Amino acid sequence: MSDTYPRLVQLLVKNFGFETDEVTPEDTFSKLELDSLALVELTLTVQQEFGIELSDDDLGADDTLGQAVKVIESKPVVA
Amino acid sequence: MAAGRAAVVCGLGTHLPSRVVTNEDLARELDTSDEWIRSRTGIGQRHIAEEGIATSDLAVEAGGRALKSAETDAVDTVIVATSTPDHTCPATAPTVAARLGLGTVPAFDVAAMCTGFLYGLAVGGGLIAAGTADSVLVIGAETYSSILDPEDRSTRAIFGDGAGAVVLRAGEPEEPGALGPVILGSDGTGSELIRIPSGGSRDPIRAEHIERADPYFRMAGTRVFRNAVERMVDASREAVSRVGWTLDDIEVFVAHQANVRIMNAVADQMRLPRSRFPVHLDRVGNTAAASIPLALADAVTTGALRPGQRTAIAGFGGGLTWGAATLTWPDVTPV
């Protein structure tokens, strides 16, 4: 079982003030009220945490956390 | 840095217009709020020049104070970093030099928007290293209020007016205040992200189609954000490694005061405590080319930056342009 989802949730908890049980894989970023600036911040943090490279639109406001996990897992580790 | 002459910071001066515009003031005329501006930028207020005050007026004040701080009344060269010059041409620096009583010294502008001060330091430092000059006054000065769209709540929330200046003198690479290599870069493929669309030779403002012209400053904030973080981090890493430091050796990191969330992201990406990044923009907003010397002076005044501390400075701006440098902070009293 991949640990990508819990690691992503940890980033949301640590950097954006969410509680672990406050989010589900079905939540979209816009439902979590992450605005465009917050999505850029999350993109940078995810790159650092997972050692991958993301393009500007890999994490979109209408994506769910579950979809984001798939995007993260599809990227080769570069760092 | 290679043996030879170094450029050493020996004076620091600043000037802010007295008129303060708070977030509440903006909220009275635009669809915005103190909470919206603070949460997205960290800015609480900015200083705005009175009608009729130009960039050279601010530059003369800050430049004069830097000379006083350096306990000198003469320099060999004057560089003004600005993207809001008094006129499209000529450059603003000769006016500033003349009004400072510096005679017929070489004087020119550097246009690198918010990275202008770092570009100015690099050029001034290079003139000293080459033996062309023994002392250089580098001034970052801006009146962004003169180019902002009165209806644009995002840029009006961010930008403020002000000026800051340093005096560089020839010295030794190992002494406090000696600038390390200034790491600069640019990426013109992103030139449309931060610009004034009309009024230059690409789209001159002419009477017959004046209604199509856009003479105001425009910025694609979200796309700029990521570029700013990544470029400042990369340039800072290189600047630090060029002087044999590690990132953790940076005791104080004075970043261009664009947005506190950019500064926090830079700190996080470098895995440095955010407490090493002094914040000045809460009181002055983003003052573009003036922001780094203004933030340096504020950090010295508040005690956040002390003589002997290993210091990094970094900036990012339109062009796109970016830069970073290091120095051990000298015993300089800002005026």
B238/A contact by beta carbon, under 8 A: no
Q: What is the three-class DSSP state of B161?
A: strand
Q: Which of B171, B193, B218 is the last residue of a domain?
A: B171
To the query of whether residue B87 is one of the catalytic residues in this protein, the response is no
Q: Is residue B178 part of a domain?
A: no
Per-residue pLDDT of B92-133, as tens digits, reads 999 999 999 999 999 999 999 999 999 999 999 999 999 999
Interface of A with B in 34-63 (CB under 8 A): 35-37, 40-41, 43-45, 48, 56
- Label residue B1 by pLDDT band (50, 70, 90): very low
Rounded Cα gap, residues B214 and B41, in angstroms: 25
Do residues B187 and B165 share a domain? Answer: no
| Domain that includes residue A44, residue range | 4-74
A35 catalytic per annotation: yes
Please report whether residue B244 resides in a domain. Answer: yes
Q: Is B36 on the interface with A (CB under 8 A)?
A: no
- Decide if A79 is inside a domain: no
Can you give the residue range of the structural domain that contains B61?
6-171
Edge-to-edge strands, sheet with B252-255: B183-186, B321-328, B310-317, B252-255
Chain A residues near residue B42 by CB distance under 8 angstroms: none
How many domains is chain B partitioned into structurally?
A: 2
| B265 at A interface, C-beta within 8 A | yes
**Which CATH number does the domain housing residue B44 bear?**
3.40.47.10
ipTM (interface predicted TM)? 0.87
Tell me whether residue B333 is in a domain.
no
The domain that holds A18 is classified in CATH as 1.10.1200.10
Nearest-angstrom CA–CA distance, B262 and A25:
28
Residues B65 and B160 placed together within one structural domain of the fold: yes
Provide the number of CB pairs (under 8 Å) joining chain A to chain B.
25
**Closest Cα to residue B324, out of B258, B242, B213?**
B242
- Tell me, yes or no, if B268 comes closer than 8 A to chain A by beta carbon: yes
Span B122-132, pLDDT tens digits: 999 999 999 99
Question: How many structural domains does chain A have?
Answer: 1
Any domain includes B245: yes
pLDDT digits (tens, 9 = 90+) for B40-51: 999 999 999 999
pTM of the model: 0.95
pLDDT tens-digit profile of B264-281?
999 999 999 999 999 999
B225/A contact by beta carbon, under 8 A? yes
In contact, B136 and B7? CB cutoff 8 Å: yes
Can you tell me the distance from the alpha carbon of A57 to that of B332, in angstroms, rounded to the nearest whole number?
46
Q: Is residue B142 part of a domain?
A: yes
Contact criterion met (CB < 8 Å) for A40 and B230? no
Whether residue B1 is contained in a domain is answered as no
Nearest residue in A to B230, CA atom: A44
